[in-house]
Amino acid sequence: MKDTLLTYIDEDGKKAAKKLWAKYSGICDLIAPTSLGWRDAFGGMLIIIGHGSTMVKMDRHTGLHNMIGNCGSCFIVLAACEVGETHISIGELQPIAQGLANLRPNAIVWGTTRDLPQQAVSDGTCFYKSPLFNWLQPANDHFPGLWKQFRKQSDIEAVMSMMPNLNFNSL
């Protein structure tokens, strides 16, 4: 088994994942999302590719967590790319990455801070082969500040992060 698993959540994600896999097939396995659940012994990098809007529609809090199932990866990348869509607040994916990290307390989850072109995913310019491990990982070289890491929040951090969503002025 290789140290990077590539999977997808929609057809465009599948196309981008196939192209990325063709470039890095020596260190990556491309698997269907339905095959993740039985990878409980996997300890490498899991990269999930697809539209951010699809990730949002999957169920903001548990959709990706349920898709990953028992996959043992402690390193998860949400490569949310958009094609022909403009999102004014692409930060909508940051709560999904944080929520996934909260549900998977032993994991580090990378999410994008802004729009990620599908071409950057499929040609691999937003990733690089780690010099320490035999896997792909997020790279900020071509897109500075693109990736943000999320870890499990403490209970107080989770509650405080929801405070801006509460509109006390409307009470």
pLDDT tens per residue, range 129-144: 998 888 999 998 777 8
How far is the C-alpha of 8 from the C-alpha of 118, rounded, in Å?
Answer: 12
Mean pLDDT of 82-90: 50
Residue 84: which pLDDT band, with cuts at 50, 70 and 90? very low
pLDDT in the model for residue 86:
46
pLDDT in the model for residue 11:
92
pLDDT over 90, % of the chain? 43
Phi, psi of 12 (to 5 degrees): -65, -40
How far is the C-alpha of 108 from the C-alpha of 151, rounded, in Å?
Answer: 5
Mean pLDDT of 40-61: 85
Give the list of residues 6+ apart from residue 114 with CB closer than 8 angstroms, or none: 90, 91, 146
CA 22, 35, 74, 162 torsion: positive or negative? positive
Mean pLDDT score across all residues of the chain: 84
Residue 49: which pLDDT band, with cuts at 50, 70 and 90? very high
pTM of this structure: 0.86
How far is the C-alpha of 62 from the C-alpha of 54, rounded, in Å?
Answer: 13
